[in-house]
Amino acid sequence: MSEISMEQIASQLVAKGKGILAADESTGTITKRFDSIGVQSTEETRRDYRELLFTADGISNYISGVILYDETIRQTASNGITLAQILTDQGIIPGIKVDKGAKALAFSEGELVTEGLDGLRERLAEYRSLGARFAKWRAVIRIGDAAPSQYCIDTNAHALARYAALCQEADIVPIVEPEVLMDGDHTIDECYAVTETTLKTVFDELYKQRVVLEQMLLKPNMVVSGMDCPEQAGPDEVAAKTIYCFEQTVPLAVPGIAFLSGGQSEAQATLNLNTMNDGHSHPWELTYSFGRALQASALRAWGGKADNKKAAQDAFIRRARLTSEARDGNYSALDENS
């Protein structure tokens, strides 16, 4: 894999029928997920859960890459092989979350900026030695009273571009993730306006900082209504406005767009992705880089019990298969109950 170019890696990550599993939950986030099923979060239980996912029979049919957390890329499975190597042996590309999380943005109450640029060049070199061939950095844009400010968008876009340039310098494909949050009661049109401004700003910064677009992927939100909006847009409107937004902002040189699920349910995220790929034309590969929307069923089926491993793996593979079908526009909501 070390001889594969960044363009080839980017293309493989968005290959037909496949998408990316986001298994890069921080210790705090995965602890909350474990709390929801009554499982204590320890290094061992976190390892067991992720090993369960990565060794599910048939995973490579639907998953092209997996985003890992710092702890996970250093862990060894029960058979003595590193988790990253287990993925590589199946033809799945290991990736790594490299940001240090969103922190309060100075002089802008309620807004956030993602940190982690200090020491990133050195960390990328280490992660590559551990098997990572792509990386991810998430910026958080909130819609609310007077938010987002252009200051917040500019600051996050600048950091995303600096991160992406450092990745490509290290021969690592950057996934650029500017997430406009679903939290709030905003309409889909408000989400569209903020997403459009954010993406225009991000690509302007990427150009200024000499990032090669053919060697990166975009991981954006879908253009959707806020979670608390009384009028929720349906999948046809979500698909049309999301694709139109990208047509106004995303250069054709970008090989693929891997959506985040952003708090959508498994079925909702899958249906929206399917609608974008069924009957809509677009020049990019539109695929998935889901976390909860690929894992929720498996997590519930597992429940922290070793005896439930097979049931959890089956639930994960079923969800991955349905999402893969949506990636190619072949999903039917009827399959949810089959």
Tell me which of 219, 241, 266, 325 is the catalytic residue: 219
Q: Clarify whether 103 is annotated catalytic.
A: no
CB 319, CB 266: distance < 8 Å: yes
Cα separation, 95 vs 88, in Å, equals: 11
Q: Clarify whether 219 is annotated catalytic.
A: yes
Please, which residues bridge with residue 180 across strands? 141
Calculate the alpha carbon distances from 48 to 28, 59, 299 in Å. Answer: 17, 16, 12
With a CB cutoff of 8 Å and minimum separation 6, the contacts of 52 are: 298, 302, 309, 312, 313, 316
Tell me which of 177, 179, 196, 325 is the catalytic residue: 177
CB 322, CB 272: distance < 8 Å: no
Q: Give the CA dihedral 172, 124, 163, 243, nearest 10 degrees.
A: 40
**Distance of alpha carbon 315 from its chain centroid, rounded?**
20
Catalytic annotation, residues: 177, 219
